[in-house]
Structure 1
Amino acid sequence: MSEHMQLSLALCGIGLYTCFRALCCKGPPPPRPEYDVVCIGLTGAGKTSLLSRLCSEGGDGIVPTTGFSIKAVPFPNAILNVKELGGADNIKKYWSRYYQGSQGVVFVLDSASSDEDLEAARNELHSALQHPQLCTLPFLILANHQDKPAARTPSQVKKYFELEPLARGKRWILEGSSTDNMEAVKESFAQFISLLEDKDTEPARI
């Protein structure tokens, strides 16, 4: 057998071995990290609709959460175990019972709501930002229903909610959201996951 043929056979053998290793010995991908997150906001803010869309569930027949629900929301680099708490008046007073163990907070507000409801949402967000079990955690604040004509912009919400002085030194993100633009919602959660991954990151603001 010529040296040329021997070399060709050797190269073929190496190629087949490499393919075999790639196909059979690669092993399962590393597991995605999981984070326990609490999701709060008044009734009608759109918490359930956003989470259902993120889980690729149908949007029909969605009703407000009356107690609490837990969803495992998958993202390319993490899984968020989101505990969504109902926003009715008779449930809000029990929110703090479900804060323990949370690693991050998602607060959803209706940016197109009445001034009265917006003030109520402001008070609840202020309480959450100052709560002993939440005050050191990353916050994702979603000014939802941006598709409605009466929606306030994230900049207007930031000013009205006085977020700069209140949340100074904290890790937080404020973004607009709508079920009509889920790609933007996913991007907001990607930023939030970055805060969860890097606990020593600098405070994030819009």
Structure 2
Amino acid sequence: MSKCLHFTLRICRICASTCFRTLCCKGPPPPRPEYDLVCIGLTGSGKTSLLSRLCSEATDHVGPTTGFSIKAVPFQNAILNVKELGGADSIKKYWSRYYQGSQGVVFVLDSASSDEDLETARTELHSALQHPQLCTLPFLILANHQDKPAARTTQEIKKYFELEPLARGKSWILEGSSVDNIDAVKQSFIQLIELLEIKDQDTGRI
């Protein structure tokens, strides 16, 4: 056997050995962390449609949620188990019964709703931000239906809802959203995941 051929075969064996060790020792990827969220908002705010789109489900026949539903929403670095609560008057009064165990909150409001409904949404958000089981949790507030002509901007929502003074010292995000721009909604949830990770780290240091 020539020296050149012998050297080439040796290199191939080393490469094969290295590849084998890499494949065998790498193992499966670490499991993604899971976070339990509660999603609240009035009927018609668009909670179900947004969550369905995030799960790549059809939204053609989406109707108001009665009671609650749970969806596992996958992201690259986490899985969000979202408990969506119905927004009808007959259900809102029981929201607090489903808060226990939540690690974060998603509040969806209709930014194009009537002044009366917007005031109701404001009251419910204030109540959630101050609830003993939610007040220390990260909040994602989605000003939904931004695609509608009557939609208020996020700055208008922030001012009307008095978010700066009310949520001072809390971890919260306010973003506009619409079911037609689900990529932007995904980015909003990714921001929420970052807040959840920070809270996890802070809790681990206590």
- Asked if the contact 1:154/1:176 (under 8 Å) is kept, the reply is yes
1:92–1:104 distance in 2 versus 1, CA, 3 Å:
same
2:174 aligns with 174
TM-score scaled by length of structure 1: 0.94
Give 1 or 2: higher helix fraction: 2
- Asked if the contact 1:42/1:88 (under 8 Å) is kept, the reply is yes
Alpha-carbon deviations, 1:62-102, whole Å to 9, x = none?
A: 01101000000001110000000000000000000000000
How does 1:104-115 map onto structure 2 within 5 Å?
104-115=104-115
**What percentage of residue pairs aligned between the two structures are identical?**
81
2:140 aligns with 140
Which amino acid in the other structure matches residue 121 of structure 1? A
1:150–1:69 distance in 2 versus 1, CA, 3 Å:
same
Which amino acid in the other structure matches residue 70 of structure 1? I
Between the aligned partners of 1:114 and 1:50, the Cα distance in structure 2 is: 21
How does 1:6-155 map onto structure 2 within 5 Å?
6-155=6-155
TM-score scaled by length of structure 2: 0.94
Which amino acid in the other structure matches residue 158 of structure 1? K
Query: What is the CA distance between 1:30 and its match in structure 2?
Result: 1.0
- Asked if the contact 1:110/1:144 (under 8 Å) is kept, the reply is yes
* Range moving further from structure 2, 10-19 or 131-140: 10-19
| SS at 1:199 equivalent | helix
Between the aligned partners of 2:53 and 2:113, the Cα distance in structure 1 is: 21
Alpha-carbon deviations, 1:10-46, whole Å to 9, x = none?
A: 1100112233344455322111000000000000000
| SS at 2:199 equivalent | coil
2:187 aligns with 187
Query: What is the CA distance between 1:6 and its match in structure 2?
Result: 2.8
- Asked if the contact 1:195/1:201 (under 8 Å) is kept, the reply is no
| Unmatched runs of 5 consecutive residues or more in structure 1 | none
Aligned pairs, number: 202
Between the aligned partners of 1:22 and 1:45, the Cα distance in structure 2 is: 50
Which amino acid in the other structure matches residue 122 of structure 2? R
Between the aligned partners of 2:35 and 2:52, the Cα distance in structure 1 is: 18
| Unmatched runs of 5 consecutive residues or more in structure 2 | none
